[in-house]
Amino acid sequence: RQESWLPAVDVFDKKDAVVLKAELAGMDPDDIEIEVEDNVLTIKGERKFEEKVEDERYYRVERRFGSFQRALALPQGVKADEIQAGYEDGILTVTVPKVEEEKPKRIEVKAKKTVETTAAGSED
């Protein structure tokens, strides 16, 4: 049965990145698309129903099939152009690196030295 569905998604914060994990078991990575626009990360795709075999008769179908789309707002201070994604054991992991925080920089204050000029022919 084809219909739209929403995969379960976890989003967590690490020191140097925001990480998103989506449960997409049974999908081919080629059927998953990830886009970023205006600081919104969109994951979309389609989980296809297996081909029906002639002698099969389903008593119950609880798994979801069909297309899905999830849009998640990214926090400020991330590098959208450096996002990486991987798919393993049915879990899509999207890593969004954070912009490095500028560390406080100490500025040295230098005393202005007065230049004493002496007349040409100074006394010895």
Give the chain's domain count. 1
Is residue 107 assigned to a domain?
A: no
Whether the CB-CB separation of 23 and 7 falls below 8 Å is answered with yes
Is residue 113 assigned to a domain?
A: no
In our burial notation (b when 16+ CB lie closer than 10 A, e otherwise), range 63-75 reads ebbeebeeeeebe
Residue 36: domain span: 9-50+57-97
Is residue 41 assigned to a domain?
A: yes
CATH number at residue 72: 2.60.40.790
35: Cβ contacts below 8 Å, ≥ 6 apart: 41, 42, 44
Span 65-122, pLDDT tens digits = 889 999 999 988 999 999 999 999 999 999 999 998 777 888 888 888 765 555 555 5
The reported pTM is 0.72
**How many degrees, rounded to 5, is the angle at CA 113 between CA 107 and CA 119?**
160
